Structure 1
Amino acid sequence: MVTSAATIGASLLVAGPVQAAAAPQQAATVSALTSVSKARAAKQKSRANYAVRYAYKQIGDPYRYGGTGPGSWDCSGLAGGSWRKAGVKLPRTTQQIYRAVKFKVSWKGAVAGDLLFFYGGKSHMGIYVGNGYMIHAPGSGRRVKKVKLNSYYKRNFSGAVRPGY
């Protein structure tokens, strides 16, 4: 009986320090994941800023159905071209882009670089540039422009995504 008690006691002594040592390792893992997340978020934000700057340079270019630039654009071509210049490849059409980008955002949660989608079939999109504005290629006979996101756009909003993660 003394032998079994000694064995049990010994195993408890061994188990104690191992569990105590595991706690700092878990904290280090959580800290490492947080720093990776922060680095990833910083890289995404840098790419988003680049995409927005590129979109600004396209203001005044003509709309062309199927246009992927440079020189003329449709709405998804402009978004895809801007993000491509920032190092992120997106699919071709509005619906494909919305499905492919997994990071979804709300109307109120949008930040510069996010892609905003409109109408039930997500048939139109623009690049949010901050302060309640977006840049988009509005349609035939028109030119790429920056517009205020007024109540019309809010009523027709159908989703948003954040590329680059």
Structure 2
Amino acid sequence: MTTESERELRNFCQLLSQAARLVQRRQDDVLGPLGLTRAAVIALEGLAPGALNQEQLASSVHAKSQTMGKILARLQLAGLVSRSRHPQDRRQLIIGLTGAGREALAAAQEAEAHALPEFDVRGWQTLREELATFVTSIQNQGPNRGPEGMSA
């Protein structure tokens, strides 16, 4: 039997999924004309503080290294990132933003900022804080468990 709190949680999760899809569609709509994808912007944002190797970047944005490699290849072809050999470890490539990459990132962030509806600043802050708490809770929960402790 489903309790009221379980129904509420399920309804919340459905609403959260719907909100995520709508935000992603809006982002796709504004990033497309810039020749960027959301994944590309995430990679550019990960490199904004400074150059990293592919594994470090993938880890920092919670992506798989192989997936990041494909994204970085496209960004390099577009002239938005550069790859150079690490000075101390020639086996490693260091990836950094180019000037064009910084400009593309700024344009993407500006476009994304205007893609969402107006919402008072306190509303965004509250929503961000609550979602951050929720995400942390899920990350700390461990493996997904079904009824009676069985893996789902």
Q: TM-score range by the shorter chain?
A: 0.3 to 0.5
**More strand, by proportion:** 1
TM-score (norm 2): 0.33
More helix per residue: 1 or 2? 2
